[in-house]
Structure 1
Amino acid sequence: MEETTTLDIETLKEQYIPGPQSLHLQRAPVPNDVIYTVGLYGWRKRCLYFLLLLFLVTMIVNLALTVWIIKVMNLSTGGMGNLQLSQDGIRLEGFSEFLLPLYVKEIRSRRDSALVLRSERNVTLNVRNSQGHLTGQLTVGSDSVEAQCRRLEVRSRADGQPLFSADADEIRIGTRTFTVTGSEGAVFRHSVETPLIQSSASEELKLESPTRTLTMGAPRGVEVTSAHGALTVGGRKDLQLQSTEGEIILDAATVRLASLPLGVFAPEPPGRASPQPPPPPPAGQATYEVCVCPSGKLYLSPAASSSTCQAVSNICLWS
């Protein structure tokens, strides 16, 4: 019979499981001459100093540039140099140069000086609507002034009445008189409508059409008057006075018809009338009769006890 071994549990615990006092570990002794310090050393320290120096130099340069800009631009609490800021807007003193477009609501000068806009090429003022479309433009160039708009008006400073207006349909001049001082006068390519054409007191008034016909017409009549001098109406060819429904009245103290041809009373039949010019009147003949041909031509005929005008006169036949 085999022998049995009895295990004592308490004995095993004492052999393999240490007690509480055996769990405390003993630390190694630390020598007194070892000191641990905290900080940056080596390349980290040099980089930090370099960054601090760079920031310091940058700050000094920025400060110097700021002072230089303030000195050059003459900056102050009221503005910048010739530019002054106020509640009403911006005020510029002296000459100002703009390199880019300028958008403002109003430009005006001081009360004691004029406003001058100067450019090496031209000065252009543009007006645009809310959509940005161009509605008006004024261009002042070296040899011309151009205005592009629907209607151009020039008004009087005193009462604001329009002095000149122009659009696509007509041009109006609102002044009391329109004076042309050119030596050649005024040239009109088309018709002119005006209530009065008058020259100055010391000059002559001349209406001329060198190559075409000069026509004057009005629904209530045309009046040609020379108050202080002679009135001359001349033409290279025929001069026609025509009235369709009225009369032609020559009202003057003396009506003179110069250079009228002289006719001769011819009792012979018309077939024997001589086509040659009539002989000069006798020396004692001083009275003549004014005759009118059927064609309307006037001629003189020696006056007698009865009329000597003949429709078959040599003047009427051969004229």
Structure 2
Amino acid sequence: MMTQEQCTHRNNVQSTEKPQVYKVGIYGWRKRCLYFFVLLLMILILVNLALTIWILKVMNFTIDGMGHLRITERGLKLEGDSEFLKPLYAKEIQSRTGSPLFLQSSKNISINILNEKKHPVSQLVAGSHGVHARGKMLEVRSSAGKLLFSADDQEVVVGAERLRVMGAEGAVFSNSVETPHVRAEPFKELRLESPTRALYMEAPKGVQIQAEAGDIQATCRSDLRLESKDGEIILDAKKIKLLRLPEGKASSSGTRQNVFEVCVCPSGKLFLSQAGTGSTCQISNNVCL
């Protein structure tokens, strides 16, 4: 136990000492650094807010969209020129009423139709080398819905009333051509030509060759054949000229004359025979041999 004298001495010592005060807070260079960082943070916040307002103003952000892009009930609406850096997937693309639609690319424009397995079944590619289309069938129709052109694996159909070929060499067909009418332009000549092979014209009811304002000329290297299996071949004109026909001779002697008759060999070959009181074709048929 502590004696009374010791307690008195301790109380006297405590009464003579001054109380110590502890300061709480940041002082000195730490306080100045803290104020500097707070000021810098406020400046960054103001700059960020100003940049955000500037971006909203420049990009024209509104409730309906941003810039030339507007969100409508029917979808997205773009006003002006738009550039797409990656593929565009859309159900329908159309221009404004009364305005054309332009698709422009530095390389090519590709339109692909995919099936359920993501494989292209129809494709249209427009590039610097031309326009390429691939699909089961290609159709071109007029504004009224009339078929103008169609093509598939079986045939190519031209539904227009007139097929016009503007090339100087005309049209070249490697196989047969089936058409009800072939006509040249007004004041132009029509030429059907096969340079290295034969030329055939066939029809179930007849072939009509007509030139209302000019001549009809048929030229071949070997034989020109006009054949009618069940009917006739009629040459109806004021003058019919058969030039350079061979001349048959009835005998080696006799006087020459300028009157002849036209004879026909069993093979169909024509020749001339000197006219007499009767037919001289039988005695002048040495041409037929």
TM-score of the superposed pair, with normalisation by structure 2: 0.81
2:229 is matched with 244
Matches within 5 A, 1:73-222: 73-157=59-143, 159-222=144-207
Alignment-mate amino acid for residue 310 of structure 1: Q
Residue of 61, 70, 73 corresponding to 2:56? 70
- Alignment partner of 1:254 is 2:254: no
1:293 is matched with 265
* Structure 1 residue 198, shift from structure 2 partner: 1.3
Distance 2:88 2:39 in 1: 45
Q: Is the 8 A contact 1:165 1:172 kept in 2?
A: yes
2:220 is matched with 235
CA deviations 1:146-181 (Å, max 9, x no partner) are: 111111111011x21110001111100001111111
Distance 1:100 1:245 in 2: 70
Identity of paired residues, percent?
47
1:310 is matched with 282
User: Aligned residues, how many?
Assistant: 275
Secondary structure at 1:189's aligned position in 2?
Answer: coil
**Structure number with larger C-alpha Rg:** 1
Secondary structure at 2:248's aligned position in 1?
Answer: coil
Distance 1:220 1:42 in 2: 119
Distance 1:60 1:152 in 2: 62
Q: Is the 8 A contact 1:291 1:298 kept in 2?
A: yes
Change (3 A) 1:39 1:287: farther
Distance 1:296 1:221 in 2: 21
Q: Is the 8 A contact 1:164 1:173 kept in 2?
A: yes
CA deviations 1:66-87 (Å, max 9, x no partner) are: 1232133232333322223322
- Which moves more between the two structures, 143-152 or 33-42? 33-42
* Structure 1 residue 51, shift from structure 2 partner: 7.7
Q: Is the 8 A contact 1:293 1:316 kept in 2?
A: yes
Distance 1:311 1:93 in 2: 96
Q: Is the 8 A contact 2:248 2:285 kept in 1?
A: yes
Change (3 A) 1:219 1:311: farther
Q: Is the 8 A contact 1:293 1:311 kept in 2?
A: no
Distance 2:152 2:273 in 1: 60
CA deviations 1:112-148 (Å, max 9, x no partner) are: 3321111111111122234422121111122311111
Q: Is the 8 A contact 2:111 2:125 kept in 1?
A: yes
CA RMSD of aligned residues (A): 3.1
- Alignment partner of 1:263 is 2:263: no
Q: Is the 8 A contact 1:151 1:165 kept in 2?
A: yes
Alignment-mate amino acid for residue 111 of structure 1: T
Unpaired runs of at least 5, structure 2:
1-9
Q: Is the 8 A contact 1:294 1:311 kept in 2?
A: no
Alignment-mate amino acid for residue 121 of structure 1: K
Alignment-mate amino acid for residue 252 of structure 1: A
Distance 1:169 1:311 in 2: 59
Secondary structure at 1:138's aligned position in 2?
Answer: strand
